[in-house]
Amino acid sequence: MTAYLNHPSVWQESWDRQQEAFMPDREHRFTAMLDAVAAVTEDRPPRLLDLAGGTGAISLRTLARFPGAHVTVLDQDPVLLTIAESSLHDRATIVDADLGDPGWRAKLPQSGTGDGFDAVLTATALHWLPAERVSALYAEIRDALRPGGIFINADHMPEETLPTLSSKLQDQARIKREARYASGASTSWPAWWALAAADDQLAEKAVERARIYPAEDHNQEWLPPATWHIEALRTAGYSEAGLIWRGGKDAAVAALH
Ligand SMILES: C[S@@+](CC[C@H](N)C(=O)[O-])C[C@H]1O[C@@H](n2cnc3c(N)ncnc32)[C@H](O)[C@@H]1O
């Protein structure tokens, strides 16, 4: 198949559609996250870490909203990092690191300077890690922030007080998602990866990726509710932690250094 990396926005677009099939309100959560960043920096361009940032969706939106922002995308997926690099060029620092390894911060360019990030944002990613690792990661992220800096995690965080309604909402969302796939409105997760693997410039990266992620089921057996995350953030030493956004089974929790 023809390589489209000279048009990286095309891959960004198809990644966005594929992700929106799972999260139709994905842009709302990004806006809520960046509103909180703007409040903390008083609208100054932030130094922002896009953690497990994939194609750099948060970084692109940060740069669009705050021209002059310094963004760093960290991930370990060679396909998504290649798309991020092609899209962001010299507008971002790209870091290849495994968040499962507590040494990930040593790979950050700032790690030696003592300057912390104004904001660390992550979306739809930390549920790939076991809960014990997420707790430890929260403390490591805090150390990467400047005093007063903000951390936000948007992810699957089911509402434990509404099990029946949540399950019905989830069923409805699944039916709509399947209709989107059937109509071609968006590609499914496996179909998207098959397209990427068929692209001349991404094929080699897709082989590398299969070694990093041999299984495609990234949901842990237990998805902690937002209350668990807020408690874990307080235990990790943040001065404030709480919910800033909810949409269906997903939520965003924020914490201040
Ligand atoms: C569903 S994608 C979300 C990407 C991006 N945040 C977005 O919203 O478009 C989940 C991302 O988490 C990354 N990820 C999962 N586990 C990771 C780990 N241990 N270290 C680094 N990145 C990880 C994956 O590589 C993938 O890019």
Ligand 1 site, residue 54, Cβ cutoff 6 A? yes
Test site for ligand 1: of 77, 96, 187, 192, most ligand atoms within 8 A of the Cβ: 77
Ligand 1: distance of its center to the CA of 206 in Å?
15
Nearest-angstrom CA–CA distance, 90 and 73? 12
Tell me, what's the pLDDT at 160? 87
- Atom 26 of ligand 1: nearest residue by CA position: 54
Burial (CB < 10 A; 0-12, 13-18, 19+), residue 59, is: buried
Which among 18, 5, 186 is positioned nearest to 79, based on CA atoms? 5
Amino acid at 96: D
Residue 186 CB contacts under 8 Å (≥ 6 apart), including other chains: 17, 18, 20, 21, 180
Tell me, what's the pLDDT at 58? 98
pTM: 0.95
Nearest ligand 1 atom to the CA of 26 is 8
Given the candidates 3.90.1570.10, 3.50.50.60, 3.40.50.150, 3.40.50.300, the CATH classification of the domain at 8-256 is 3.40.50.150
Q: Averaged over 230-236, what is the pLDDT?
A: 98
Residue 192's pLDDT band (cuts 50, 70, 90): very high
Residue 7's pLDDT band (cuts 50, 70, 90): confident
Nearest-angstrom CA–CA distance, 106 and 54? 19
Q: Averaged over 216-228, what is the pLDDT?
A: 82
Q: Please say if the pLDDT value at position 114 is more than 90.
A: no
Tell me, what's the pLDDT at 6? 67
Q: Please say if the pLDDT value at position 4 is more than 80.
A: no
Residue 131 CB contacts under 8 Å (≥ 6 apart), including other chains: 220, 222, 224, 228
Indicate the pairing of strand 70-75 with strand 47-51: parallel
Q: Averaged over 122-147, what is the pLDDT?
A: 96
Domain ranges of the chain: 8-256
- Atom 23 of ligand 1: nearest residue by CA position: 52
